[in-house]
Amino acid sequence: MRQDSLVGGSSKRLVINRIEKTIAPLLPIQKNIKPGIQRIVETAVELSHRLTSEKAIFTCEMIASGEEERENYTSVPEDGQPGGIVYACVFPLFGKRVMVGPEGNETLQTVPLRAASVIYEREIEQSIEY
Amino acid sequence: MSSDSSSFSTLRTSAYVPGQAYNANETGQTESAPRESQSDGHDGTENSDKTQPFHQQAVLTDTELLANRVAELEKKLANTEKDNRTLRSIIFKLSAPPQPHEDDGFYIMKLNSLDVSIERFVAQSFKDATDNYLDPEYAYYIRQVLGLYRPGRALLRFLDQRVHTSISAIYSLSFPRMVLVRHIIALCLWAHVFTPICFGVSDEVNKSMAKLFDYVSAAGMILRIPNLTTRKRLHESVVLPPSHWRRTMRTSSRKNATRFPRGRLLQAPCHQPY
């Protein structure tokens, strides 16, 4: 299995197939998986096309499992309590590149635009206890 | 512009030439002076002490004319400087730095909407979940897919260190299982849709374009590749790492006496999608 196997004329179909093939065994209800994934991928691709002209401004990153909660970079838990350690990132972080600093001494920095949606280890433990 | 040139020609024509009759049609004042002096000459009594030679009167009139003209030009200059300031401010507004096509709010709204649609899709697929057994072959396949991506590998490492480690163990628990599904969808969208510069283009082209974008962003100016004449060399430079470009730019900056902001380049983010 190669990671660059998703290139070619029908990239969208290949992405849909990969997601479908991977998550299908995990889903209890196997009905209408493909249309659902298709809708998600099409929405994402449309948004990506909009971002294409502004790629130099926007960035996309995943938060790695095991990292600590970071304000503005990771989502706030629903119960409002401190998150702690990230279990899994379920939606990537989007950042924006801007020049920051006094005039003449600006530096290029990436500031968070939309925090990544993450599930914390604490939430997983709570769900298991419940 | 035309009024200036005509005035200038007037000035030139109105210059006094000794031995010739002075005739400046513009003012009338200069015409009357010789006539006055002539009449004075005829009377010969009243203003004989004030009478001046013709050439001296013409010179005085010329000086006055020049003074008027200078005053007029000074006024024009002041007006032009004022216009220039206005024009500069308009040009500055027109050539403002590039901004995103849409507001930040637009993208945030779209991203939130996508996140919610993924969550809903997964939640709908988990209604009436009864099955708790996952085929080990599938579990192995999922591990393989996760291992393809850097964040997926981080999750596998993290799971290996925790209690509910295996994919099969996660499968038996509804909430962690949903989280895993959402994580896999996010991974695929991140790696294949959002990270590439252009969706559907090969990885090599995307990586080269990403390097170019980083380079231009870090430099904060339009890209200039020095000493490139042939298409082949341009292609080579695109696939070369940014460190090579920094060296090239530094070398060329010595020749061209232009300083390149090294500190800003070093802070440039680097695309390492997988």
Which residues does chain A have within 8 Å of residue B151's beta carbon, measured at their own beta carbons? Answer: 62-65, 89
Residue-by-residue DSSP string for B20-38: S----TTTSHHHHHHHHHH
Contact B117 A39 (CB under 8 A): yes
Q: Tell me what pLDDT residue A130 has.
A: 64
B178 in the same domain as B209: no
Q: Which tens digit of pLDDT belongs to each residue from B139-151? A: 888 888 899 999 9
Amino acid making up residue A79: D
Note whether residue B148 is domain-resident.
yes
Distance from CA of B5 to the nearest CA of A (A): 44
Nearest one of B156, B160, B136 to B147, comparing CA atoms: B156
Q: Tell me what pLDDT residue B219 has.
A: 62
The dihedral formed by the CA atoms of B46, B51, B54 and B55, expressed in degrees to the nearest 10: -170
Interface test with B, best of A32, A39, A54, A89 (most B CBs within 10 A): A89
Q: Specify the number of domains making up chain B.
A: 3
Q: Tell me what pLDDT residue B217 has.
A: 66
Q: Is the pLDDT of residue B189 over 90?
A: yes
Confidence of residue B13 (pLDDT cuts 50, 70, 90): very low
* Side-chain-side CA neighbours of residue A62 (13 Å): 32
B219 in the same domain as B190: no
Which residues does chain A have within 8 Å of residue B195's beta carbon, measured at their own beta carbons? Answer: 60
How far apart are the C-alpha atoms of B120 and B61, rounded to whole Å?
Answer: 93
Q: What are phi and psi of A88, to 5 degrees?
A: -155, 145
Q: What value of ipTM does the predicted structure carry?
A: 0.89
Sheet containing A58-61, strands listed edge to edge, beginning at the edge strand earlier in sequence: A58-61, A93-100, A107-114
Note whether residue B274 is domain-resident.
no
Give the residues across from A21 on adjacent strands: none
Whole-angstrom CA distances from B151 to A56, A64, A72, B47, B53 are 23, 5, 19, 108, 102
Whole-angstrom CA distances from B164 to B158, B159, B170 are 10, 7, 7
List, in sequence order, the alpha helices (H) in chain B.
2-13, 29-43, 54-94, 104-125, 136-147, 150-161, 167-171, 174-189, 203-219, 231-239, 242-256, 262-266
Q: Which of B194, B227, B250 is the last residue of a domain?
A: B194
Which residues does chain A have within 8 Å of residue B188's beta carbon, measured at their own beta carbons? Answer: 15, 18-19, 22
B116 in the same domain as B86: no
B109 in the same domain as B84: no
What's the whole-number mean pLDDT along residues A7-16? 74
Query: B22 touching A, CB under 8 A?
Result: no
Query: B69 touching A, CB under 8 A?
Result: no
Lowest mean pLDDT among A50-59, B102-111, B198-207, B209-218: B209-218
From the list B122, B138, B199, the residue facing A45 with the nearest CB is B199
Query: B212 touching A, CB under 8 A?
Result: no
Q: Which of B37, B65, B94 is the last residue of a domain?
A: B94
Note whether residue B173 is domain-resident.
yes
Q: For chain B, positions 127-146, list CB contacts with chain A under 8 A.
A: 127-131, 134-135, 138, 141-142, 144-145
Confidence of residue A63 (pLDDT cuts 50, 70, 90): very high
Domain housing B210:
203-266
Q: Is the pLDDT of residue B92 over 80?
A: no
Note whether residue B23 is domain-resident.
yes
pTM for the complete prediction?
Answer: 0.61
Which residues does chain B have within 8 Å of residue A25's beta carbon, measured at their own beta carbons? Answer: 134-135, 138, 141-142
Express as a percent the part of chain B with pLDDT over 70.
Answer: 51
Note whether residue B73 is domain-resident.
yes
Note whether residue B271 is domain-resident.
no
**If you measure CA to CA, which chain A residue comes closest to B115?**
A91
Note whether residue B243 is domain-resident.
yes
**Could you give the angle at the alpha carbon of B57 between the alpha carbons of B54 and B60, nearest 5°?**
155
B111 in the same domain as B90: no
Q: Which tens digit of pLDDT belongs to each residue from B113-131? A: 999 999 999 988 887 655 6
Whole-angstrom CA distances from B86 to B60, B94, B239 are 39, 13, 46
Query: B78 touching A, CB under 8 A?
Result: no
Q: How many CB atoms lie within 10 A of CB B235?
A: 12
**Could you give the angle at the alpha carbon of B223 between the alpha carbons of B219 and B227, nearest 5°?**
120
Note whether residue B99 is domain-resident.
no
Q: Is the pLDDT of residue A11 over 70?
A: yes
Which residues does chain B have within 8 Å of residue A29's beta carbon, measured at their own beta carbons? Answer: 124-129
**Do the Cβ atoms of A55 and B107 come closer than 8 Å?**
no
Q: Which of B194, B215, B233 is the last residue of a domain?
A: B194
Q: Is the pLDDT of residue B86 over 90?
A: no
